[in-house]
């Protein structure tokens, strides 16, 4: 049985640099071009496009195979995508000039590749070589650090419509030799292209990293660069058991980047969360540590009678008001400067939200917030925790386990917590019907009701 008219597999198996592979011959570009053609021709329901691992034909890449007939293509280029779509995936006529149908040669090549691969692995094992997976994990900071420095310097904006290292160095007031080295590394990472001495942004970099682009996310991403400085204290933080001050946060610029980073995460997620919770019977919402106000904005847009209050630190609420104003809901989303660890919450709320908040605090602080939230909610009111939720062993999902360390380096007593912990704390605070709502994406919801 075939659920699709055609199922296309494109090899995207990465190999160490210098070793032939489909991605090294351009399979990611082929994948992208096929995807766009499928979309443009409205064939999404007929054609399933899937990536796959090595099929053993690395010297003939990019390789792809179309089922159910099992038609193999080799040395495909992005420029072939339109023809493959029109001839094969629409009219069921394979593109002969690209078809590879020498089954005997393919079988022999695949067996030879498998044997070579196993022999190489055995030799590495015997020589005591570190597996590639570990090498890559250990050096994983290098590409990350290049992009973060490029964002900090705003290099993509300085590249503009195209410039050489000297011009870019002058625009950034930075050393030309070093700027040239960084630019070349960014080309190697496929974030820039180079022709002669001139560098250009890729379409992706121009879209997401350049000042003036509608989808520019640089401000929010610079927050990740800010966090990197904290992560470099991890060894000391593990020894000490809590964060080690780095002396560069808590500036207005740091706070602006932080809230922009939070808004970047929350903007598209907030409507999903509000939909999952339902806004129908909700009149009053308290958004503790609401940051950019994204969740209150989504609530206000979902229910015409909803009134929200964002409580956040004094240095943040003016930024909240900016985002709320831009969303056009200032009449229904108010801001309150305060400290949720000390200040009275008020009373009569239908929903109190803790989006990406509990991980900043210790168990004792969270228990206290839950207890005071219970008092501040109306009957049938709900406390909503959104966070990265760990399994009972606290070892998965990977993102939540890593994020716990993000809190170790950034806070006095924060961490990621498990569903069991949140449930216990909610029950201890008096909440009933505590349940978890699974959502797409890395974070989940825990909801408790006042009965
Ligand atoms: C990780 S952000 C989450 C922002 C927002 N809830 C969201 O999901 O986009 C944490 C927020 O809590 C605020 N915050 C931290 N400590 C606070 C405190 N003691 N009282 C009030 N707000 C606080 C921060 O200023 C920041 O806006």
User: Which of 291, 314, 322, 416 to probe ligand 1 with, by most ligand atoms within 8 A of CB?
Assistant: 291
Distance 312 CA to ligand 1 centre (A): 6
- Does 16 share its domain with 128? no
Residue 144 has pLDDT above 80, yes or no: yes
- Does 297 share its domain with 159? no
Q: Is residue 163 a part of any domain in this protein?
A: yes
Give the pLDDT confidence of 175-194 residue by residue, as tens digits.
999 999 999 999 999 999 99
- Does 68 share its domain with 130? no
Q: Which domain holds residue 426?
A: 266-449
Give the pLDDT confidence of 50-68 residue by residue, as tens digits.
999 999 999 999 999 999 9
Hey, whose CA ends up nearest to atom 19 of ligand 1? 339
- Does 277 share its domain with 407? yes
- Does 285 share its domain with 430? yes
Q: Is residue 340 a part of any domain in this protein?
A: yes
- Does 324 share its domain with 180? no
Boundary residue ending a domain (72, 101, 130): 101
Number of domains in the chain: 4
Q: Regarding beta strands 444-449 and 377-387, do their DSSP bridges make them parallel or antiparallel, or are they unpaired?
A: antiparallel
Residue 261: strand, helix, or coil: helix
Give the pLDDT confidence of 86-141 residue by residue, as tens digits.
999 999 999 999 999 999 999 999 999 999 989 988 998 999 999 988 999 999 99
- Does 132 share its domain with 145? no
Closest ligand 1 atom to the C-alpha of 339? Answer: 20
Q: Is residue 255 a part of any domain in this protein?
A: no
Give the pLDDT confidence of 318-374 residue by residue, as tens digits.
999 999 999 999 999 999 999 999 999 999 999 999 999 999 999 999 999 999 999
Closest ligand 1 atom to the C-alpha of 266? Answer: 9
- Does 392 share its domain with 410? yes
Q: Is residue 47 a part of any domain in this protein?
A: yes
Q: Is residue 250 a part of any domain in this protein?
A: no
User: Which of 254, 312, 388 to probe ligand 1 with, by most ligand atoms within 8 A of CB?
Assistant: 312
Q: Is residue 224 a part of any domain in this protein?
A: no
- Does 180 share its domain with 84? no
Hey, whose CA ends up nearest to atom 23 of ligand 1? 289
- Does 434 share its domain with 332? yes
* 114-120 long-range contacts, CB within 8 A, separation 24+: 114/56
Hey, whose CA ends up nearest to atom 8 of ligand 1? 355
DSSP state string for 147-183: HHHHHHHTHHHHHTT-EEHHHHHHHHT--HHHHHHHH
Q: Is residue 355 a part of any domain in this protein?
A: yes
- Does 10 share its domain with 42? yes
Boundary residue ending a domain (52, 77, 101): 101
Whether 70 contacts 93, CB under 8 Å: no
Closest CA to 204 of 196, 195, 216: 216
CB atoms within 10 A of CB 95: 16
Hey, whose CA ends up nearest to atom 27 of ligand 1? 291
Closest ligand 1 atom to the C-alpha of 342? Answer: 19
Whether 279 contacts 351, CB under 8 Å: no
CATH number (domain holding residue 51)? 3.40.30.10
- Does 271 share its domain with 127? no
CATH number (domain holding residue 193)? 1.10.10.10
Ligand 1 surroundings by CB, under 6 angstroms: 262, 266, 289-292, 294, 311-313, 316, 339-341, 355-357, 360
Q: Is residue 253 a part of any domain in this protein?
A: no
């Amino acid at each position: 049985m075939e659920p699709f008219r055609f199922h296309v597999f494109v090899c995207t198996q990465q190999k160490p640099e210098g070793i032939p592979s489909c991605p090294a011959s351009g399979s990611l570009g082929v994948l992208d071009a096929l995807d766009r053609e499928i979309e443009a021709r409205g064939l999404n329901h007929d054609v399933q496009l899937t990536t796959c691992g090595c099929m053993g034909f690395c010297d003939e890449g990019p390789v792809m195979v179309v089922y159910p007939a099992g038609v193999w293509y080799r040395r495909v280029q992005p420029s072939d995508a339109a023809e493959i779509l029109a001839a094969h995936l629409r009219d069921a006529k394979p593109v002969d000039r690209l078809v590879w149908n020498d089954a005997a040669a393919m079988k022999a090549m695949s067996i030879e590749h498998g044997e070579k691969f196993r022999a190489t692995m055995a030799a590495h094992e015997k020589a005591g070589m570190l597996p590639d997976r570990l090498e890559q994990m250990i050096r994983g900071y290098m590409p990350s650090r290049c992009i973060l420095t490029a964002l900090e310097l705003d290099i993509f904006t300085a590249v503009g419509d195209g410039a050489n290292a000297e011009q870019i160095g002058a625009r950034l007031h930075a050393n030309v030799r070093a700027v040239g080295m960084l630019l070349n590394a960014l080309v190697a990472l496929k974030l820039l292209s180079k022709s002669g001495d001139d560098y250009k942004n890729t379409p992706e970099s121009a879209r997401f990293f350049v000042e003036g682009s509608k989808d520019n996310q640089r401000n929010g991403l610079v927050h990740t660069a800010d966090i990197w400085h904290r992560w470099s204290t991890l060894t000391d933080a593990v020894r000490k058991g809590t964060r080690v001050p780095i002396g560069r946060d808590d500036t207005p610029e740091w706070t602006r980047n932080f809230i922009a980073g939070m808004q970047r995460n929350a903007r598209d997620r907030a409507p999903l969360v509000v939909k999952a919770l339902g806004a129908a019977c909700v009149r009053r919402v308290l958004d503790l540590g609401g940051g950019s106000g994204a969740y209150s904005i989504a609530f206000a847009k979902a229910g015409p009678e909803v009134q929200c209050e964002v409580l956040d630190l004094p240095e943040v609420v003016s930024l909240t008001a900016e985002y709320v104003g831009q969303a056009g809901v200032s009449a229904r989303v108010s801001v309150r400067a305060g400290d949720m660890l000390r200040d009275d919450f008020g009373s009569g709320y239908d929903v109190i939200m803790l989006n990406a908040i509990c991980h900043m605090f210790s168990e004792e602080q969270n228990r206290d917030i839950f207890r005071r939230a219970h008092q501040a909610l109306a009957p049938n009111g709900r406390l909503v925790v959104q966070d990265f939720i760990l399994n009972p062993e606290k070892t998965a999902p990977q993102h939540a386990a890593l994020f716990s360390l993000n809190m170790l380096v950034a806070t006095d007593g924060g961490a990621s917590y498990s569903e069991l912990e949140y449930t216990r704390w909610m029950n201890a605070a008096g909440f009933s019907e505590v349940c978890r709502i699974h959502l797409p994406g890395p974070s989940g919801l825990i909801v408790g009701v006042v009965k």
